[in-house]
Copies of this chain bind each other. A is one copy, B any other.
Amino acid sequence: MSKHYDVGIVGGGIIGQSIAYQLAKEGISVLVLDRHKGGSGATSAAAGMLGANSELEQNDAFFQFAKESQRQYHLLQDELSNFSQIHIQLVDKGMYKVALSQEEAIALKNAVQHHETLEWHTRETVLNHEPSVSSEIEGALHIPEDGHVSPKHVCEAFTKSASLLGATFIENAPVQSIKKASVNDYILSTPQGDFTCNKVVIANGVWSGYFFKQLGLPNRMKPVKGECLAVKSNTLHLEKTIFYDHCYIVPKGDGRFVVGATMVEDDWSTTPSLGGIHALIEKVSPLVPGISSAQLISTWAGLRPQSEDGKPYIGVHPEDDNILFATGHYRNGILLAPKTGTMIRDFILKKKIDENYVRAFSVTRNLAQSNEVIV
């Protein structure tokens, strides 16, 4: 018979592994099951931006949560490197969110008022700092705190640290069904056999929709496919991420510029289409004209796990608090991974959790409105 675990986590992407890491650090016996290799879902497709300010426009609980998570990365960098020797490649040089029209400029200038650290930079200032940016821009919002990491390395560092702290990680183990055998006894069935645990965390990204349904919840999970590419150049220099209308050029610490990403709804394929890459090139080339002469080195795609309102589900099943959800992180799962890990840990350890967060990410938050009934 196989070992019984305190916590079984379905999905070994950045969210599942962040949770595993936090639990393993507390000495909890934890099992992570991934259907494939860890990190091979959305995580390995992500650009790795920590876009709290650039991505989230309202100063609400979600934004606070994102900022806390962003800050956590500064500690995690050393912590994870100590445990695992793996460097997460945190780059902290900020971002320019660019305006191409006057209307866009006005909208961005508004944002400045709400956030202390943000600043509006005129075209001249921008070109001064980043001479490669197009002179056609109106100016840009300067967001000093939105850096980036290497998602693959963050996920691997969580995985290896958790492993060395005692967690068990099993690859090639797709969870086919989650069943309650008795109190404190959940069965995760896979082709490798059944695994049992006291609590279950559902963290399998866009593929988690099936388990909401299996466990009687109406929440749906929709894929929003994103296509990316990477270029290299010895002469193109960018210090900051350049961001415009959901697209971006991220100057990574390994010399690549990651360019992303398209937004294709309801497409489950994980390979870039010719048309998608075409559209992406058209979108970003005007931002940094010199990028056309850079060398194209790779293209790829991934599926963002989109919940119905675009916010993640981080919380317990309404009728069974041994079943937890940590999914639906959509465009910001890399940013939100650290704080999702500690929040799920706190649920499991029954620690106090900020009520605003509990409410904002509750699994049942839209059910009333949508008037749907839990079966």
Contact mask for chain A residues 272-309; partner B; CB cutoff 8 A; 1 contact, 0 none: 11110110011001000001111111010000000000
Q: Using Cβ atoms and an 8 Å threshold, which residues of chain B touch A273?
A: 292-296
Known: A191-B209, A299-B296. A160 touches B234 (CB 8 A): yes
Q: Using Cβ atoms and an 8 Å threshold, which residues of chain B touch A36?
A: 36
Known: A156-B255, A207-B191, A273-B295. A89 touches B87 (CB 8 A): yes
Contact mask for chain A residues 154-167; partner B; CB cutoff 8 A; 1 contact, 0 none: 00110110011000
By the criterion CB–CB under 8 Å, are B164 and A190 in contact? Answer: no
What total of chain A residues lie within 8 Å of the partner, measured CB to CB?
Answer: 70
Q: Using Cβ atoms and an 8 Å threshold, which residues of chain B touch A213?
A: 189
Indicate which residue in B206, B237, B268, B271 contacts A173 across the interface (CB closer than 8 Å).
B268
| A91 to B36 CA separation, bound complex (whole angstroms) | 31
By the criterion CB–CB under 8 Å, are B174 and A35 in contact? Answer: yes
Q: Does A172 have its Cβ within 8 Å of any Cβ on chain B?
A: yes
By the criterion CB–CB under 8 Å, are A272 and B253 in contact? Answer: no
Indicate which residue in B81, B269, B278, B282 contacts A172 across the interface (CB closer than 8 Å).
B269
Known: A171-B269, A292-B273, A292-B275. A210 touches B234 (CB 8 A): no
Q: Does A371 have its Cβ within 8 Å of any Cβ on chain B?
A: no
Q: Does A270 have its Cβ within 8 Å of any Cβ on chain B?
A: yes
Q: Using Cβ atoms and an 8 Å threshold, which residues of chain B touch A35?
A: 35, 174
By the criterion CB–CB under 8 Å, are A285 and B275 in contact? Answer: yes
| A214 to B135 CA separation, bound complex (whole angstroms) | 47
Q: Does A86 have its Cβ within 8 Å of any Cβ on chain B?
A: yes
Q: Using Cβ atoms and an 8 Å threshold, which residues of chain B touch A86?
A: 253-255
By the criterion CB–CB under 8 Å, are A285 and B292 in contact? Answer: no
By the criterion CB–CB under 8 Å, are B176 and A274 in contact? Answer: no
Q: Using Cβ atoms and an 8 Å threshold, which residues of chain B touch A113?
A: none
Q: Does A85 have its Cβ within 8 Å of any Cβ on chain B?
A: yes
Contact mask for chain A residues 15-52; partner B; CB cutoff 8 A; 1 contact, 0 none: 00000000000000000000110000000000000000
Indicate which residue in B153, B208, B254 contacts A153 across the interface (CB closer than 8 Å).
B254
The chain B residue sitting closest to A205, CB to CB, is B191
Say what secondary structure dominates the interface of chain A: mixed
Q: How far is the CB of A285 from chain B (nearest CB, A)?
A: 7
Q: Using Cβ atoms and an 8 Å threshold, which residues of chain B touch A296?
A: 271-274, 277, 299
Q: Does A182 have its Cβ within 8 Å of any Cβ on chain B?
A: no
Interface centre among A81, A157, A221, A296 (most CB of B within 10 A): A296
Known: A163-B234, A191-B206, A281-B278. A177 touches B177 (CB 8 A): yes
Q: Does A251 have its Cβ within 8 Å of any Cβ on chain B?
A: yes
Q: Does A231 have its Cβ within 8 Å of any Cβ on chain B?
A: yes
Q: Using Cβ atoms and an 8 Å threshold, which residues of chain B touch A169?
A: 234
The chain B residue sitting closest to A174, CB to CB, is B174
Indicate which residue in B170, B174, B274 contacts A292 across the interface (CB closer than 8 Å).
B274
Q: How far is the CB of A164 from chain B (nearest CB, A)?
A: 6
Q: Using Cβ atoms and an 8 Å threshold, which residues of chain B touch A278?
A: 278, 281-282, 285, 292
Contact mask for chain A residues 232-267; partner B; CB cutoff 8 A; 1 contact, 0 none: 001101110000000000011111000000000000
Q: Does A64 have its Cβ within 8 Å of any Cβ on chain B?
A: no
Indicate which residue in B157, B170, B254 contacts A87 across the interface (CB closer than 8 Å).
B254
Q: 24 A-B contacts, Cβ less than 8 Å apart?
A: A36-B36, A84-B255, A85-B91, A85-B237, A153-B254, A157-B255, A159-B234, A160-B237, A163-B234, A163-B235, A170-B268, A171-B269, A172-B268, A172-B269, A191-B221, A229-B274, A272-B295, A272-B296, A274-B291, A274-B295, A275-B293, A278-B285, A281-B281, A296-B299
